[in-house]
Amino acid sequence: MNNFSLFLCGEYHLALFARNVKNFLTIINLPLIINYMKTIGLSGIIVYKVCGFGKEREKPQQIEIDVKIETDFTKVAKNDSPDYGIDLNTIYDLVTLALQEEVYTIETISYRVWKQLKNLDSAGKVKVRVKKRKPPCNGEVEYSEAIIEE
């Protein structure tokens, strides 16, 4: 069985075939362009913000924010320098900037953060997840969340 017949034999063999093609192209010195999604982000950004209604407005609550930004960071990786991409401190600063105004819902927080990050020059799709611990519900709930991804 040669490499080309492996192509027809399932997912495992397809992966093996692809690896062999890549090795072949490398041997004959042809560039292989692999186009795949690249993301950067921050997970577990903790902020304290008054958010909610009624008693929830009496004191700040813990809000956790995760962000992912689709971007091409090939130049950053090749040059090993953040000068060619989106700086993580910029992401953090934009998240906190989005939280400066009064807010009532985590949906609003997720939208404001998303809007700030979407304005970055090299940002493609942006995903923002906002979680609020122990929301007031008719039972015990660990957290509520709002996610926006576009």
Give whole-number Cα distances, 58 to 55, 76, 82, 100, in Å. Answer: 5, 44, 41, 17
Of the candidates 94, 114, 116, 117, the one whose C-alpha atom is nearest the C-alpha of residue 106 is 114
Residue ranges per structural domain of the chain: 1-34, 39-149
Instruction: Report the pLDDT value the prediction gives residue 5, as an integer from 0 to 100.
Output: 43
DSSP 125: S
The answer as to CATH 3.30.1130.10 being correct for domain 39-149 is yes
pTM beyond 0.75, yes or no: no
Q: Please list the rounded mean pLDDT of every run of 10 residues in the chain (150 residues).
A: 45 54 55 64 96 91 96 84 88 96 96 96 94 90 95
Instruction: Report the pLDDT value the prediction gives residue 143, as an integer from 0 to 100.
Output: 93
DSSP assignment of 24-83: HHHHTT---------EEEEEEEEEEE--SSGGGGSS-EEEEEEEEEE---HHHHHHT-GG
Instruction: Report the pLDDT value the prediction gives residue 101, as an integer from 0 to 100.
Output: 95
